[in-house]
Structure 1
Amino acid sequence: MGLTIRKGYYYFVKRVPPYMEKYENKKAIRFSLKTKNKFEAMKKAVAIEEELLQVWAQFKKAHGNMLEFHSKATAIARNHGFSYKSCEELSISSPITELTKRLDIAFKHLGKPEVSKALLGVAKTSSISLKKSIDLFWTQCSDRFANKSEH
């Protein structure tokens, strides 16, 4: 967790854990703490970080197998010279030559379904994004911050 100052106001900055980066294009999240007081900003940031880490831990616990499978699929695709693309991405934006190469390699590995799944884009991914998880976080913990002074 870090604090930065912009135009006199403190901002909360937290690097997105590697297992969450797949669901967001951002490497870090940053938002205003709406204060110019460093002590107040640190107090808010510690509470927010604690809650955010809990949300991420719950996400990882709920989606752990899927996250692991997706990571492996990405590595397998990379090992065969491709980036991982979902089957929707493959069908919409990939040239036929790339699709043919992926199918050729998948047929050579018929006994290894994980290779076919990785090359043909069928590894399951979560539909939740970091933005959605933060919105969910604020919705679920709004009562903890309601009617409290900033001092």
Structure 2
Amino acid sequence: MKIALASDHAGFKYKEKIKEYLSENGWAVKDFGTYTKQCCSYPDFIIPAARAVSEGICDRGIVLGGSGNGEAIAANKIRAIRCALCWNNRTARLSRMHNNANMLAIGERMISIEAAYEIVDIWLSTEFEGGRHIKRIEALENLGS
């Protein structure tokens, strides 16, 4: 599985740590930036990462910012993206089980790096339940059709 990774300046430190963590644990990672702590505009990096997931270049994506809110909003503007802002293990698990989230947003200023690692692990290992949730995902996919 190939993971798209992107952040703004406020999520840069965690992006770099999560990139290393994923690589050490055998995940393929494509880093869409930012590449420095210099102040930047998150859509410049989040949108290309979301497009890579939408187009099947990457299987899933993880985006980071100060709170993660703007990054989730930006990613969700792209067709076929279901980006979930997660702040604990339960939100990560449910975002996959019930929403089949294909992107994860994390706020560096909101949680510890240890919590972020746990969220990433749970999010990557949790399967979509399907069942009653399929029709809801299909309704989202059919918006604008």
TM-score, normalised to structure 1, is 0.26
Higher helix share: 1
TM-score under structure 2 normalisation? 0.27
Q: Which has the larger radius of gyration?
A: 1
